[in-house]
Structure 1
C-alpha cells in the first residue's frame, strides 16, 4: 500500500501566483496525497482561492487563521498533518507533476527512509537553472553514517579546506524539496524568522539529528521561484543580523549539549563567517536604504567581530578566484569596493553561483 503524504502550503497574500502552485498539486500522479493550505490571515483573495479549489478536490483542506508568519503557518499545518510523510511547498513555487510519485516510488524501494529529498530549479521568469545537490547523476541511498557525513554535517557548514563556493552553504537547508517521516518531526516546531533570521536551518538541525537513513532522488525537481512579482521593492530585513546572531548561538549550544565535537564547530565557523556576505548583499541591494546608509551599515557589518572573526579564521585555499577576491575585500574592510562589486554583480546573480 502506498504511504500517505501530507503537503503543507503556508499562504499569505499569494493570489498572484497561488493558482500555478495549486495546479501542480491537482495534477500530481500520486493518489494517496492530502494537501493542507494554511491561510495565514491573508488580506487579498488567497483564502477564497484556497476554498474554491478545496471544494473541487476532496484531498485538499484549508485552515484560516490570524497572521502568525511563515513559521506559525507551517506549525499549524504540522499539527494536523496525518501522512506517513510530510512535505512543504511555498505558494509561489511548484513541483513536477510526477514529483511525489517518483519520490515515493524510490522511498518504497529503499524501505521508507527517514528522509527523501531532491534537487531543485531556481526559476527566474523564462530562465531555469538546475541546482543539483550531488555530483552523481543517480539516485543515492544514505545509511546513518553516510547521511551524517554527506548531509547532516553540511547543514552546520562546509569543510573550510575543501570549500570552493560559499554560495552552496544553504543548498541543503530548505525544508521544501524534502519529505520527512512524520514520526521524525512530530515534536519539532518552527521558530519565527524574526527571532532567528532563518527558520529552515534550525528546523532541519533538530528534525534530522536522529535520522537513520535518506534517499536522494536526482531526476525530479522542486521549482523555487526567485522572481516573486508580489514584492517589487526589496526591503532591508532589519531582523536578519540579530536573528542570525541568535541562531548561531542556538546552534553552538546544540553542538555543546549533544557533544558533537570540534568538527561541527569548525563547520559552523565557516557558515557564520560567510554570513557576512549575505548580510552585505541584503544591505547594498535594499531599495529602502540610501547610498550613505548602505555604506554606513556595510562598514558597521565589516567591523562586527561576531561574524568577521570567523571569516578571517581560515585560509580557504580552495575558494574560486571571485570568492577569494570578495573574501579579501571583506577582510580588508574595503567598503567602497564591496559596494561597487555587489552593485554590479547582483543583477547577474541568476547566472552566477
Structure 2
C-alpha cells in the first residue's frame, strides 16, 4: 500500500478561492491522503467551507484556531499530521492532479527525502490549461546534493525560489523543525535546515499553480518587512559555514538582499527606515564582491542600482524616485 501523505493547507479569509484549492487536492491521482485544513481565525466563510468539505471527504481534517499567521497555521498542521510524507499548499493556489503522485515517484526513483516541481503563476483558470499543455513537452528530472541546491539558490534562479509549497518532504525533515511564528519570509528562515538534510529530486514540470493577484500586493513598507534581512542572512550564513567554497556567493546573496530592502525603502519613501537604509549601505560597502555582478537575473539596471547604492544611499534615492516620476508623467 502506498504511504499516507499529509497535505497541510493554512486557511485565512480566502472564501473566494478556497473551493478551487481544496478540489484540486481532493482530485489528486494519489489517493492515500490526509488533507489538513487549518482555519487560522478566518472572519469570512472560509471556516464553514472547510467544515462542509470535511463532511464530504473523510480524508479531510479541519482545525479551527485563533489567528496566529501563516507560520502558526503550518506548525499546527505539522503537530498533528500522521503522514509518512507531507506537502504544503497555500489556500488561494491550485495544484495539478498529478502533483503528489509525480513527486512521490521522484522520491522513490532517486531515493531522496525531498522532491520539488516547478511552478507557474496564474490569474485566471484558463491560464492553467496553458501551463498543463506546456508540461506535456517536459520530461526531464534530476537529483541534486544539498550543496548543489544551495549553489543554484544563491544564483537567484526563479526555479529555486525558497518556498514551502510545491515540495514533498519526508516527515523526518520537520521532526525537530518549525516555522518562526510572527515573521515574514518564514520559508527562507527554514530553507537551509530543510534542504541540508537530504538530496533533492526535481522535475521542471509546473505542477503547482501560484495565484497572482495584484490587489494582494502591499503598496506600503512595514516593520514586518525588515525581518527579510535577518532571515536571508541566516540562510546565507548557514551556507557559508557548511560549504566554504560557496562563501563568496553567499556574501553576494546577502548584498543582493540588502539592495532589495534598500530599494523598497527608497521606492516607498519610508523615511522612518532611513537608519536601516544607511546600515544596509554600510553592509554593502564592507561586503560587496564580484559574485554579485555574476548572479543570474541581475540585469545592467540592477547593477547600476547597486553601484549607486554602494557610493551613496542618496544617489539610489534620487535615481529611483526620478525614474518613478518620469514613468508617472508618461502614464498621464
Normalising by the smaller structure, the TM-score range is 0.7 to 0.9
Deviations 1:93-129 (A, max 9, x none): 1111221122223333334x21010111022447679
- Quick one: structure 1 residues 303 and 246, their matched pair in 2 at CA, closer, same or farther if it must change by over 3 Å? closer
Residue-pair matches, total: 315
Shift of 1:206: 1.2
Corresponding residue number in structure 1 for 2:134: none
Q: Is the 8 A contact 1:75 1:190 kept in 2?
A: yes
Shift of 1:37: 0.5
Counterparts of 2:271 and 2:23 in 1: how far apart (Å)?
44
Counterparts of 1:31 and 1:23 in 2: how far apart (Å)?
13
Q: Is the 8 A contact 1:8 1:77 kept in 2?
A: yes
Aligned residue runs from structure 1 range 60-99, under 5 A: 60-99=60-99
Aligned residue runs from structure 1 range 296-335, under 5 A: 297=273, 301=277, 304-305=280-281, 307-309=283-285, 312-314=288-290, 316-318=292-294, 319-332=298-311, 333=313, 334=315, 335=317
Gaps of 5+ in 1: 131-136, 159-165, 287-292, 347-353
Q: Under a length normalisation based on structure 2, what TM-score does the superposition of the two structures give? A: 0.82
- Quick one: structure 1 residues 301 and 124, their matched pair in 2 at CA, closer, same or farther if it must change by over 3 Å? farther
Corresponding residue number in structure 1 for 2:204: 218
Corresponding residue number in structure 2 for 1:118: 117
Shift of 1:255: 5.6
Gaps of 5+ in 2: 132-137
- Quick one: structure 1 residues 342 and 300, their matched pair in 2 at CA, closer, same or farther if it must change by over 3 Å? farther
Q: Is the 8 A contact 2:188 2:235 kept in 1?
A: no
Counterparts of 2:266 and 2:237 in 1: how far apart (Å)?
31
Q: 1:271 aligns with which of 234, 253, 267?
A: 253
SS of the aligned residue for 1:218 comes to strand
Shift of 1:301: 1.6
Q: Is the 8 A contact 2:118 2:159 kept in 1?
A: no
More helix by share: 2
**Cα root mean square deviation, aligned:** 3.2
**Corresponding position: 1:246 with 2:227:** no
- Quick one: structure 1 residues 95 and 329, their matched pair in 2 at CA, closer, same or farther if it must change by over 3 Å? same
SS of the aligned residue for 2:169 comes to strand
**Corresponding position: 1:104 with 2:89:** no
Counterparts of 1:304 and 1:62 in 2: how far apart (Å)?
43
Counterparts of 1:343 and 1:215 in 2: how far apart (Å)?
46
Q: 2:220 aligns with which of 223, 229, 235?
A: 235
